Structure 1
């Protein structure tokens, strides 16, 4: 089909008019919903609509605006957000204390020339080194989580000259080729084989298996560049490590001179009750990966920060050998990250999350004692997993919450677990409202599936 520039101009002008309007007319709302379904089916991926239908029954819920703890669809239906963009909205939706600095930077200049020194990148790197543990010092900024994982993997090889990586079963690090290779779930790996060679997986939480894997590789003439893991596994279903595990991993990496990489894309920036989850164990990684909440829910920005001994002469002599993302560390994103750090420090958001998370976890444990369908609850801060006997029941809880105006995270690859990741600024009043809705939903699912205390053990798959 030939390009039709005149028709494209007409269409783009119509779409931009929706963005400009303070209020949409009823016919505008209907058109946006109709267009969105058609556009996703014809030009994005029809599977996305099927995925949404599994939670929302139909696909006509079109997100249009948000504020603080909630978002609204195009017709104004409001949802309490306890998914938080899988960790993005620690500071809430459209936090005004972050937006004002991004708007101010936008009025000055939006992107950088790529050649001159852009000051906000330097300021952000310095301040990041001040809020991360130990001697983490040199920062590299990217746009997405998987890209940051790639930088960490590449840095480990560049700095050491070694080859193999050890990752954890159940781990999730993104969907670019290197990230998929270190992922620990077959669902994300099988279709991309052959993957990047030199990756071995061991069980998360088993330090002895990790040491054995490294030792055996070295005995057979191989070299190990890095160990990568999440301090708390997110996509796997909020899996916490055994006590002392991270300390043992640090000792093993020191013993064999292996780079320790912590993927804190989801657990970082206050999500687990401290600025970084690794602080709770007293362990400093060689490379820390950050993202999601780092841009304050306003701009995408991710990256790595590393200990100085990894910044070798090769990287200093050729600053672009590690990577040169065109938009990585751009002024708007850096302004958002700087404002995010300011907001978190001024309000001690990690401490708030620790307190609120303890409250929410306690209340959910009370629901567990009341509802047989809720078979397990675990988490730290505002990273909480709720387990059900079957994936179907997990989806039913997600759907029941959604129809009552609460968005949570049940995933296609681990639907037995709902992820609770609300904004860190969420009020106790909103938490209580959500918990009452969860109570009502659990009762409904138990009735629909015939779940009782007597039969729940036999239903668990």
Structure 2
């Protein structure tokens, strides 16, 4: 929708939020969740019941602009008609066979995704963390069978501030105490170096190094962008030292940064793409490891697998997502709307905002910590009809769906400006 009049409550900031004063239904749902759901999250006090495009509606009819988009899982917005149609059609035909048999959806999906990435093979999985674990296994097996590293000695270099998931192996190389503490003993085999420091990275490479695992832009850390040219330097170093470059594009990929992959911003092609989130269109969990035959060809039947990985429903949705990206429309939208977003955010510098980092429709905004925490900013934006998420102190992340319109970006900017003036 192109004009705010089409969205109830999208005119004056907060109109939609304050239309209902009785919050008993919201409180009931929150109380139920507090009683029965394990407390591994601390959600904002909103209970969403319906969504479409860039907008969500809570259980009491209040509407909010979704400026988080499921951490990029909803790049194409809520209930994108093409993706819903693909899912609905497949639901009526076939949803699961397991990989013990072929399905008519798996080959076409993997072909289209491989072509999009310019690679030979796709190994489909379900969640992003599962894809990262698969990439780690791929790199180690490649190191032993192709590079010739002695068995059990492979090492993988990772970057400070990383976020690749929350499995036991992944949190073993996290430097976030909240994600890591009290889950040991930890998995060995990883070397942590500063993000964006090519000299430190080169010093860490040894003959036993099989891969460098990185996020081209670190999302959970606050949309941290590396120095210009760093990705190209990493690509040159890994080629020279016969080390795999593994790009975790789970959050940054599939249109978010204004390019198909964030690595495209520097013209870099890694050895392995790790994909997820938006690949499932916000409908089903879909992830994948994408690489050439010389890398993914190390797997043999029985050496890795997943009951639901590449299931027909996931493949149907994933193929439809690839179809949307092939047109280039969503990458272009991320670029054009991203210019508007970044321009508006930079006008707030020195007026309650200390720093802005923006690539496409993805921004990290550092609020002056003397004004409020990121959690407080998220809460106050919620009260103004905009949903965002904080990370690390006074930083908030903005990632509206790529279907967002200019008027909706203006609503987001106006809400943030109003918050800071207040």
Determine if the TM-score, normalized by the shorter chain, exceeds 0.5.
yes
Q: Hey, what does 2:327 align to over in structure 1? A: 346
Q: Hey, what does 2:389 align to over in structure 1? A: 409
Within the alignment, does 1:427 sit opposite 2:410 as a pair?
no
Q: 1:160 aligns with which of 121, 140, 143?
A: 143
Q: TM-score normalized by structure 1? A: 0.81
Q: Hey, what does 1:356 align to over in structure 2? A: 337
Q: Hey, what does 2:128 align to over in structure 1? A: 145
- How big is each residue's C-alpha offset from its partner over 1:95-137, in whole Å with a ceiling of 9 and x where there is no partner? 011101110111111112532211211111111111114xx22
Residue 40 of structure 1 contacts residue 46 of structure 1 at CA under 8 Å; is this kept in 2? Answer: no
**CA apart distance, 1:32:** 8.0
Q: Which has the higher contact order (CA 8 A, sep 6+)?
A: 2
Within the alignment, does 1:259 sit opposite 2:236 as a pair?
no
Aligned length: 392
Q: 2:88 aligns with which of 68, 85, 103?
A: 103
Q: TM-score normalized by structure 2? A: 0.89
- How big is each residue's C-alpha offset from its partner over 1:417-451, in whole Å with a ceiling of 9 and x where there is no partner? 1100000000001111121111101112xxxxxxx
Q: Per the alignment, in what secondary structure is the counterpart of residue 335 of structure 2?
A: helix
Change (3 A) 1:409 1:31: closer
**CA apart distance, 1:240:** 0.6
Higher Cα radius of gyration = 1
**CA apart distance, 1:194:** 2.3
Change (3 A) 1:113 1:144: closer
Residue 98 of structure 2 contacts residue 307 of structure 2 at CA under 8 Å; is this kept in 1? Answer: no
- Please report the RMSD computed on the Cα atoms of aligned residues, expressed in angstroms: 1.9
Within the alignment, does 1:45 sit opposite 2:60 as a pair?
no
1:31-430 equivalences under 5 Å are 34=28, 36-46=29-39, 48=41, 51-52=42-43, 56=44, 59=45, 61-133=46-118, 136-161=119-144, 162=149, 163-215=154-206, 218=207, 223-312=208-297, 315=299, 318-321=300-303, 323-346=304-327, 348-369=329-350, 371=351, 373-390=352-369, 392-411=372-391, 414-430=392-408
Change (3 A) 1:115 1:46: closer
Residue 386 of structure 2 contacts residue 412 of structure 2 at CA under 8 Å; is this kept in 1? Answer: yes
Q: Per the alignment, in what secondary structure is the counterpart of residue 303 of structure 1?
A: strand
Q: Hey, what does 1:459 align to over in structure 2? A: none
- Distance, in Å, in 1 between the alignment partners of 2:322 and 2:313 is 14
Higher helix share: 1
- Distance, in Å, in 1 between the alignment partners of 2:39 and 2:183 is 21
Runs of at least 5 residues in structure 1 that lack an aligned partner in the other structure? 1-28, 445-461
- Distance, in Å, in 1 between the alignment partners of 2:373 and 2:275 is 33
Runs of at least 5 residues in structure 2 that lack an aligned partner in the other structure? 1-22
